[in-house]
Amino acid sequence: MIPRIPRLIGTIAILAAAMAVLPAQARGDISCRMTYSLKGWSLFYQTAMGSGVVTCDNGQSLRVNIETKGGGLTIGKSEIKHGVGHFSGVRDIREVLGAYATAEAHAGVVKSSAAQVLVKGNVTLALAGTGEGWDLGIAFGKFVIKAG
């Protein structure tokens, strides 16, 4: 009886994963991933620029330019290399383009890492990256992705 329990748990996990994917496939959603680099500074006003590539599981690929602008009580200088973003709620790669609202609290010295979730309509973008620099503050603004 005991050896059957792990097999039963595995079967249940596979079924649960399949059921979670079905609604997305029924809507025609695709999975897209972005690799990017971003470099910027802030002194009350926050700005950064970078570039990346978005690839989707349906074979679509798109070079992009990234720009962030915002403001708040913030100061610093930073660079993200080898950042990764995951999009959900996408039916066509061009839906990843546009402006996403941002709100963040940040603090880092020398080596740092960051994670952030952004939303634009039905599209969600989860960002994660590591970088170098220093920063401190609270900022609001927008994260803009344009075709490169």
Number of domains in the chain: 1
Report yes or no on 5 lying in a domain. Answer: no
Residue 22 belongs to some domain of the structure: no
Question: Residue 90 phi/psi, 5° resolution?
Answer: -105, 135
Strand, coil or helix: 148: coil
Q: Say what the pLDDT of residue 110 is.
A: 65
Predicted pLDDT at 112: 65
Residue 10 within any structural domain of the chain = no
Separation CA 45–CA 27 (nearest Å): 40
What CATH number did the domain enclosing 98 receive?
2.40.128
Residue 130 lies in a domain: yes
Q: Could you tell me how far CA 117 lies from the centroid of its own chain?
A: 6
7, pLDDT greater than 90: no
The CA-atom distances, in angstroms, between 58 and each of 25, 54, 63, 111, 131 are 12, 12, 16, 35, 30
Q: For residue 5, what pLDDT is reported?
A: 46
Whether 50 is in a domain gets the answer: yes
Given pLDDT bands bounded at 50, 70 and 90, which one contains residue 103? confident
Domain that holds residue 137: 29-147
The tokens of 36 are what?
Answer: 């990017």
For residues 99 and 69, what is the distance between their CA atoms, to the nearest angstrom? Answer: 10
What are the tens digits of pLDDT across the range 10-27? 444 444 444 444 444 445
Task: Give the least confident one: 21-30, 72-81, 103-112.
Answer: 21-30
pLDDT of res. 106: 66
Residue 38 has pLDDT above 60, yes or no: yes
| Mean pLDDT calculated for residue range 76-82 | 87
User: Mean pLDDT, to the nearest integer, of 115-122?
Assistant: 88
Please, what is the end-to-end C-alpha distance for the chain in angstroms? Answer: 58
Pull the structure tokens for residue 2: 């005991």
**In the numeric block, which tokens belong to residue 47?**
């700005």
In this structure, are residues 112 and 97 in contact, taking their beta carbons and an 8 Å threshold?
A: no
For 136, residues 6+ apart whose C-beta sits below 8 A from its C-beta are 74, 75, 76, 106, 107, 108
